[in-house]
Amino acid sequence: MRFPFAKLHGAKNDFLLTDAAEAPGEGLPEIAVAICDRFTGVGADGWMLVDRRPGEGYDAAIRLFNSDGSEPELSGNGTRCAAALLLRGRPEAREFRIRTAAGIKHLRVVQSGGTGSLFEMNMGEIRVLEPAATVQGRDAVLVDAGNPQCAMPVEDFDFDWRAVGRSVERDARFPRRTNVSFVRKVDEHTVDVRFWERGAGETNSSGTGSTGAAVAAEARGLVKSPVTVLTPAGPLELRLEGSRVFLTGPAEFVCEGWYYYPGAAQHP
C-alpha cells in the first residue's frame, strides 16, 4: 500500500498531511504510528487527513493523529499547516475556515510566498478551568484551549521538566491525558515556554500549548496582551481579547512524496 503525503512544519512542530480522498480506508491509528516514526517512517509529530470538501460554515475539514496513534481535538500549528496546503491550491484566498474536532477555526492569511506562509488563527474561546491548581505537588493552571492544557509556572528550566511532563500527562486527574507546558515569565509581554504534548512528547513548539501558556500567565497576572511566547523554535505572537485568543505563526512546506506502508504485504 502506498499513498502521498506532504510534510510541513509550523514553528518546527512537524506534520504529514494526506488528502483524505487518497488516504487508506482503515487502520489509521496504526498507520499514523508507522508514518510518524522518525527512524523507520517519514517522521513527524502527527499525521493529518485533509478533506477538501466544503460543508456548512467551513471550507475544509481535518482529522489529526498524534505520533502514538491517538486523536487530539486540536493542533494550532497543525491547523496552520493545513491552511498552507489549502492556500497552495487557492492562492487567491485570504482566509480559511477549517473544521477540527474542536470546532471550526478561522485563519487569515497574513503573508504568503515561496515555501512558507504566515497565518493569524482565531483559537476560539479559551477557558481557565482552575487558576490555582496543584498537580503532583506542583503549582499549575488548568486551561481548556480546545484540548486540555496544564500550564506550570516555573522560575527556570533547570530541572527534568521532560520527566515531569511525561508523568503529569498521564496523571489520574486527566482521564484523557493532558498537554503540559512549563512557563517562565520574561517580562510583562513575554513568556518562555517548554512543551510536553499529549501523544507526541517533547515538541519544539505548540500552538494550543502557547495559547494555554499565555492565557494561564495572564490569569496569574504575569503578563498582559499582546503576548510573545518564546519557544525553542522561535517566537509565536498572541493577542488576547477577553476569552478569545488570536495566534500568529508560520507554516512551511518541507517535502512531498509517497509513503509505503510497511503493514502491507506488497507495495503496488
> Does the predicted model carry a pTM greater than 0.95?
no
pLDDT tens digits along 60-85? 999 999 999 999 999 999 999 999 99
pLDDT tens digits along 142-171? 999 999 999 999 999 999 999 999 999 999
Task: Report pLDDT for 267.
Answer: 42
DSSP single-letter state for residue 54: -
Within the chain, which residue ranges are assigned CATH 3.10.310.10? 2-123+251-260, 127-242
Q: Which of 124, 101, 102, 77 is nearest to 243 (CA)?
A: 124
Written out in words, the top-level CATH class of the domain with range 2-123+251-260 is alpha beta
127-242, what's its fold? Diaminopimelate Epimerase; Chain A, domain 1 (3.10.310)
DSSP single-letter state for residue 58: B
DSSP single-letter state for residue 29: H
| Rounded CA separation 98/100 (Å) | 6
Query: Predicted confidence band at 262 (pLDDT cuts at 50, 70, 90)?
Result: confident
Query: Predicted confidence band at 9 (pLDDT cuts at 50, 70, 90)?
Result: very high
pLDDT tens digits along 11-58? 999 999 999 999 999 999 999 999 999 999 999 999 999 999 999 999
User: Grid coordinates 481535518 are at which residue?
Assistant: 62
Query: What burial class does residue 249 get, using C-beta atoms within 10 Å of its C-beta: 0-12 exposed, 13-18 middle, 19+ buried?
Result: buried
Residue 5 has pLDDT above 60, yes or no: yes
| Rounded CA separation 190/162 (Å) | 22
Mean of pLDDT values over 90-117: 96
pLDDT tens digits along 121-143? 999 999 999 999 999 999 999 99
What is the percentage of the chain residues whose pLDDT exceeds 70?
A: 98
Radius of gyration of the chain (CA): 18
